[in-house]
Amino acid sequence: MLDITDRDLLQTISDIKYIPPESAYNIRKNGAGIERRNNENVEITTKPDKPGIDIKVRAGSTGETVYIPVLLTETGLNDKVFNDFFIGDGASVTIVAGCGIHNSGCMESRHDGIHRFFIGKNAHVKYVEKHYGEGDGSGARVLNPATEVYIDENGSCDMETVQIKGVDSTVRETVAELGKDAKFTVTERIMTHGRQHAESNMRVELNGDGASSRIVSRSVAKDESSQVFHPVAVGNARCAAHVQCDSIIMSKARISSVPAIEANDEYAQIVHEAAIGRINNEQLLKLMTFGLTPEKAEEVIIEGFLK
């Protein structure tokens, strides 16, 4: 059963406190599945050989939303899970994931989520993942997601990943392979503070004619935190890709942004751009003329930048 802390975490990472009655879901807490529901279009089963689940979405089904949140509320827990998604041809589904860690102890709490997506022909996936940490203990809150995405002909995947706050360390690994006319969009938003560290490595292989990808990373680094971004787009066919990394740096933070592009076909069109800078003083002054304090003005600017 979910207690008040669990429901607050669920609200933060999934924007809900209760799963809608028509939706399929699987809730994992402290290393074990505690609640699950299937429906006529979505089947969730436990893996027989390792921790994790298989999520199968029936071909041709549309309008489904599947929730797979992970909650950690025990200090010292190291949770590793393997989840595979099989999206049938012509299906359309929204998957709401995310992990919330409440650590009030002195030992590290860690979640490593390894996700693989197999997206069929003409199928569409919207994937939303939020990471969040809280708790008054000295133990670290660590999240290391690894994601593999395989998209068949004319399929698509829109991925939104957000690190809200409170995560002491994260290393994100993402790889994707796109077939003919496949589309892959990633929007990554990360904020770090204190001495936190965030690293994101991404490699997208555009293997089919007509494949396209857009990778957008937006981040804010405060205090003495550090961030590293390394997105790579590889064009192996007549394709198009755009990589964009924008960051705001504050105080004594450090940011390294290293976008890269590779073309192995004469018709590949790939663009990358990166920018790192501080908050614009004119924006601050304008907001302060409306009565905002400097701190509140910074907050408003950061919130707008990360949307």
pLDDT > 90 in the chain, percent:
84
Residue-averaged pLDDT of the chain = 94
pLDDT at 297: 86
Task: State the pLDDT at residue 83.
Answer: 98
**256-303: pLDDT as tens digits:** 999 999 999 999 999 999 999 999 888 888 888 888 888 888 888 888
The per-residue pLDDT for range 69-115, each reduced to its tens digit, is 999 999 999 999 999 999 999 999 999 999 999 999 999 999 999 99
Residue whose pair of structure tokens reads 């790939």 in the numeric block: 270
What is the CA angle 178-181-121, rounded to 5?
75
Taking only the tens place, the pLDDT of each residue in 140-170 is: 999 999 999 999 999 999 999 999 889 999 9
* 3-state SS assignment for residue 304: helix
pLDDT greater than 80 at residue 17: no
Q: How far is CA 72 from CA 18, 114, 148, in A?
A: 18, 16, 23
Residue 210 is encoded by which pair of tokens? 């007509």
Q: Are 151 and 176 in contact (CB under 8 A)?
A: yes
Q: DSSP string spanning 144-207?
A: --EEEEEE-TT-EEEEEEEE-S--SEEEEEEEEEE-TT-EEEEEEEEEE-TT-EEEEEEEEEE-
- Label residues 57-91 b or e (16+ Cβ within 10 Å = b): bbbebeebbbbbbbbbbbbebebebbbbbbbbbbb
